[in-house]
Amino acid sequence: MKTVLKSEQQQITRLFSHLEFDGNQLNHQPGSVLGSTALIAGTTIGAGILALPAVTLPSGILPSTTVIIAVWLYTLFSGLLIAEVTLNVMGAEGISSIGFLAIVEKTLGKVGARIAGATYLFMHYALLVAYINKGGDILGSAFTKIAGLDNILILPNWVGTTTFTLLFGGILYLGKERFIQKLNSAFVAIVIISFFGLLLLGSGQIKSDQLLFQNWDAVGSAVSVICVALFYHNVVPVVVTQLEGDIPKIRQSIIIGSAIPLIMFLAWNAVILGSVSPDMLKNNLKVGGVFDPLQVLRAGASGELLGLVLTVFSEFAIITSFIGFVYGLVAFFQDISQITKAEFSRLPLFSLVLFPPMSLGTINPTIFFTALDYTGIFSISVLGGIIPAIMSWRQREQQKLVNGIYQSLIPGGKITLTVMIAIALSLIIKQILSI
């Protein structure tokens, strides 16, 4: 362990946690940049990608591409900022690992931790509502189509949401950890294969008229959903731990790990928006006031094979995200139970996680885009922008008072922090005014 002593204060600048004892000596097993990069990329690629075409379609390919890149830059800075705050807390405390909410509590106290915890809880529940709603809808539509009943039978929304929740929630409840890991890996493989199949099939459906369409006035409404699609910040503390506080490796993993989904999202956005014909737009099939081109394409409007592959991709992208957020919420309540000394058995715990979003998704069948919209603005602006910037600001002030060493991963100092807070607040204010 390397340490630096300055002004009678010991500040740990590197943490070596991957040590194995073979009977004679300790062997250092450094963290893998490739593994950390894959964790960032895998967390980012999820169900948020499904909502992108619906919110970017009104603006066109060029404006939406510009905004996606701009939001990626913001999320990149906020991800690096969370890594920076994590690194400095771990160094100051002399610990090898710490979670995001614990970082908030150590930096901003119990009040800050409660605000972050409430925001974290809202984000997870809102996204589970969106995933259960859309996953159930796709599952019900696929069943009626496979059974040849799609022209004569429309299943009630509650059938799809209940089936989706009981089926995949039941697997998570009953399955052992190793089985769920293997199952999730298989699902991720299906998502990747079907994604590239979509790009291959969809590229042949692109129409030149759609490539030229631009409406810059409509692009602002897509920002919140793009934020959801590019959110990975909850795993950044894990990356800092895995890479043992090595700043160049941490920076490399976050930049590359978030750039891979960015490239995928840009290609996906261009192919789907380019595949939407004027006839589809005239039919104006809307879900909750939003025209969803994926629903039209899944129905086979641009070819049966494209619709089939899109259905597979959509459902399994939702399932992989659903698994991650269910486990995230389960871990959240387990942490609360340890703090409050209250014990949750497995069945009540999973019921608390699954039944509220299932009920809300059943009551409001068109809540998918609304849930993503509010999650993007309120939750991610707070968790990914305002709180990390305030924590960094406070850390820098504290380090000045004690002449400590502050390790920075982003340039610009407090100017950058001010800009990040201002952008997040402006998005929140804009959302409130639009209600």
CA dihedral (141, 143, 149, 153) in degrees, to 10, reads: -50
Contact 123, 379 (CB under 8 A): yes
pLDDT of residue 55: 85
Question: For the purposes of burial, counting CB atoms within 10 Å of the CB of 24, is it exposed (0-12), middle (13-18) or buried (19 or more)?
Answer: exposed
Which pLDDT tens digit goes with each residue over 90-138?
A: 877 777 777 788 888 888 888 888 888 888 888 888 888 888 888 888 8
Domain 3-9+33-434 has CATH 3.40.50.300: no
What integer pLDDT is reported at residue 384 of this predicted model? 85
Are residues 269 and 65 in contact, defined by beta-carbon separation less than 8 angstroms? yes
In sequence order, the 6+-apart residues with CB closer than 8 A to the CB of 110 are: none
Percent of the chain with pLDDT over 70: 82
Q: Which residues contact 327 (CB under 8 A, 6 or more apart)?
A: 172
Q: Alpha helices of 276-412 — where are they, by DSSP H?
A: 278-283, 293-298, 304-340, 346-363, 368-374, 380-381, 387-401
Q: Is 12 helix (H, G, I), strand (E, B) or coil?
A: strand
Q: How far apart are CA 233 and CA 36, in angstroms?
A: 13
| DSSP summary character for residue 236 | H
| Residue 292 CB-density burial (10 A; 0-12 exposed, 13-18 middle, 19+ buried) | buried
Helix (H), strand (E) at residue 171? helix 157-174
Which of 55, 135, 109, 99 is closest to 377 using CA atoms? 55
Q: Using an 8 Å Cβ cutoff, are 410 and 75 in contact?
A: no
pLDDT tens-digit map of 336-358 = 776 666 677 888 888 888 998 88
Give the pLDDT confidence score for residue 374 in this predicted structure: 74
In three-state secondary structure terms, 155 is coil
For the chain, give every domain's residue range: 3-9+33-434
pLDDT digits (tens, 9 = 90+) for 187-222: 888 888 888 888 888 777 777 777 778 888 888 888
- The CA–CA distances, whole Å, from 14 to 2, 88, 123, 408 equal 6, 10, 32, 14
Helix ranges restricted to H, 204-243: 208-212, 223-229, 236-242
Model confidence at 69, in pLDDT bands (50, 70, 90)?
very high
**Alpha-carbon span 412 to 420, nearest angstrom:** 11
